[in-house]
Amino acid sequence: MFSSKTKQGDGENRLEVIAKSDFLVYAENRGMNKKTIKDVPIKGKRVLMRVDFNVPLNKGLKIEDDTRITAALPTIKYAVDNGARLILMSHLGRPKGADDSLRMDPVAKRLSELLGKKVTKLNDCIGDEVQKAVSGMKDGDVVLLENLRFHVEEEKNDTNFAKELASLGEIYVNDAFGTAHRAHASTEGVTKYIKICVAGFLLAKEMEYFDKALSNPPKPFVAILGGVKISDKIMVIENLMKKVDAILIGGGMAYTFLKAHGMEIGSSKLEADKIDVAKSIMRKAKQLGVKLILPVDHLIADKVDAVSNTRVVTDVVPQGWMAVDIGPKTVDEFKKELRNAKMIIWNGPLGVFEITKFSRGTEDVARFITGLKAISIIGGGDTAAAIARFGLEHAMTHISTGGGASLEYMEGKVLPGVAALNDR
Class level of CATH domain 217-410? alpha beta
Active site residues: 68, 229, 381, 404
| pLDDT tens column, 274-332 | 999 999 999 999 999 999 999 999 999 999 999 999 999 998 999 999 999 999 999 99
| CA pair distance 207, 29, nearest whole angstrom | 9
The residues, any chain, with a CB within 8 Å of residue 24's CB and separated by 6 or more, are 17
Q: Does domain 2-205 have CATH number 3.40.50.1260?
A: yes
Residue 32: per-residue pLDDT: 66
Whole-model pTM? Answer: 0.83
Q: How confident is the model at residue 60 (pLDDT cuts 50, 70, 90)?
A: low
| pLDDT tens column, 375-395 | 999 987 889 889 999 999 889
Looking only at the bridges linking them, the beta strands covering 62-63 and 57-58 are: antiparallel
Residue 15: per-residue pLDDT: 29
- Residue ranges, comma separated, of all CATH 3.40.50.1260 domains in the chain are 2-205, 217-410
| CA pair distance 215, 13, nearest whole angstrom | 33
Neighbouring C-beta atoms of residue 93, cutoff 10 Å: 14
| pLDDT tens column, 160-209 | 999 999 999 999 999 999 899 999 999 999 999 999 999 999 999 998 88
- Which helix (DSSP H) or strand (DSSP E) does residue 223 occupy? strand 221-225
Looking only at the bridges linking them, the beta strands covering 297-301 and 322-326 are: antiparallel
Q: How far is CA 344 from CA 132, 151, 334, in A?
A: 49, 40, 12
Q: How confident is the model at residue 26 (pLDDT cuts 50, 70, 90)?
A: very low
DSSP state, residue 346? E
Q: Are 84 and 76 in contact (CB under 8 A)?
A: no
